[in-house]
Chains A and B, each alone.
Chain A
Amino acid sequence: MHDAELQGPFARLLDDMADMAAVRALENGAPVAALWQALAESGFLDALVPEDAGGAGLSLATIAPLIETLGAQGLPVPVADTMVARALLGGAAPRGPIVLVTSQALPVCGARFADHALVDDGRTLVLSPLAALEPQATGVQGSSAMMLHGRAQGPAFARPDGGLRPVAAVVRAALIAGAGARLTDMACAHANTRVQFGKPIGRQQAIQQMLAVMAQDMVGARIAARQGASRGLAVPVALAASAKITASAAAARLAASAHAVHGAIGIAAEYDVQILTRRLHEWRLADGSEGYWAAVLGTARLQSAQTTVDWVREAIFG
């Protein structure tokens, strides 16, 4: 299926069911059931499930733009996590939202909306009811991330080589790319309309230079995320590392620049910028920050006698 054929209906579904007002409502405790029902009926949740198991049989590369769309909506619900989990679980997936859990040391994004968690315990993947993990709110304003202190309990599934973290990192990178693109659009629109000193601030070179760097971070994060998604759900570690290092580093800069361009209004709760920048910071920290993946990638790189370009070509572009 062509990208545009998928993305159009998906974006329309999200615009109908999960616009910024709906995202605000979800953050304030509104139930996710109606949105989830619509997503389930649309078939998108089974996009990655093989056709013989009743899914659409699409590749991670094909749906990467959909994950970016989820990011651009600032949706805190674990839709992309569930898509990946449903593919890994074959026909055994429960109906509701599932979060991917690659660490219990930090809060898990989207856990507040999840019924289940697919937990990588280092040996197997365990499909656990969320309640068994004793979820606990973080107290962070508007956050759907929760600490999961309990032990995963439930059926075990085969753990992919390298575990769940590489694919989870690529999902997070694609979400960052989508939110970053939306913020870049918003910052440009604001710069073209906000007048100070008698002209739109977008005519100031200082603002233009900042927005040009946002464009580089936005494009870089998108390309890196799509490369991460280019080889299926069994994401090679080097590929995941490159995607998440680039996207996470960009996330912090994109959030900072979006706020700098918008001025005080950007940090006001009533304005949408802060929804997306809060999401960027959460996704940056989830499933390994740029520093975590940099150590992983550098350790692998230092074990090879190849030149850097040759190593990158084989390990990442392979």
Chain B
Amino acid sequence: MTLSRSPSPHPGGGWSSPGLVPASGTVSPNGPSPGSISPGTPGSISWAAAKAKSDEVRGYPSFSTRNGGFFSRQRHQISTRFHSVRRFSSREYVDKDDFGREWKRSGSGCGLLGALRIPVRRGRFRLLLALLLVWIGYLFCWTSIIQTYRRSPIGGGNKFVIILGSNVEGGVMEWKGAREWAIERNSIWNKQRYAQNWGYELELANLLAKKRYSHEWRESWEKGDVIREAMRKYPDAEWFWWLDLNTWVMEYDTSLQHHLFNDLESHVYRDITAYNPLNITHPLPEFWLDELGRSLEGDGKADSLNMLLTQDCAGFNLGSFFVRRSDWTDRLLDTWWDPVMYEQMHMEWEHKEQDALEYIYQSQPWVRSGVGFLPQRSINAFPPGACGDGDNPVIHYEQNAHDLLVNMAGCMFGRDCWSEIYYYRELSNWLGRSGWERFRDGVTDVYDRMTGKVRDEDD
């Protein structure tokens, strides 16, 4: 053992000492054969275990590039170690796998002790200590450093505010039961986690039902007022993302910048005829309008996009949409609700503010050039049960495509909001597993298949 290969704590690598562990760096393990560690296992299984282990080791460098959750992963490894020791004799295969890890770990411990015991030159010792300090700093502060950076103007996170409509009606219309509270708690937690991860602001909008003017209930239009309030509260933010309570952010590791805003023009379609469930006449035919008013694609510049929304099978959907701080948005939010329009249409506008927006989009040409449509699944995927049984690839959530958000639209009408939220919560946790968990699941999977096969043979 030479000191030049003494344990170097590289981020994410844990305490594996290169000089001691045969399976280190980029070399695949060719050290102790699995068979020698646990004799009597079927050859195929030990081969799979060895391969899986080498995969795991090779996988380390990619761990280190992942920003979040490293510390928890480390903690997880420690806990699984204890776990495996307890189960040493009961389940052979898992033991073997974890035994190998155990062995490696103790070896690396030896390496550290050895490094300390052997007289080293002072400079090298200092270097070692400095590296140790850096590593500890990394362990404890990296996540918060990353998050602080993302929240800063350079990181761009402060340009986004997520507005979550919560406490819908505040229990005025219907009694709020345990499930409603659970939905609320979980949904808020979900947005909090996403916002914190990327340095966005989260604004909880308390949508108490209240009589705004003497004779109208206009609860759905509160959206406009709430967004305007948020704009005042966060003067640095540019984009405001409205989310209904019954939504779930599935991918915590996908930033809005990367997902949409770095290259907005390529994600947005402005020509509503591309997908037009409402059969809106577009472009407008009126001869007295200017080119902008009659154009198919607005002015075609990303700068003029002030509202991003999706269409579901029935038209505009406002469960998840973006507005940008601008004069255009001020005007839209201002004209969205109007007493003269409301008086004439409130019986027909079943979906209230959504229908009102559809109406304004059709009747007032200035609106069109500011609206961009996103493919529904990019920010507003539906679960099965909304707009069909889940077989429409344009509308329904696809987990293989890692859609960003699921909107349990209409779940309060004959479906079960809480069970849907619960399902997608678990699914997103499962999809967002860390590399180690993924590996463990994979191994368990293989193991189950093996044992299943064995059982079949027994039968």
Question: Do the two chains bind?
Answer: no
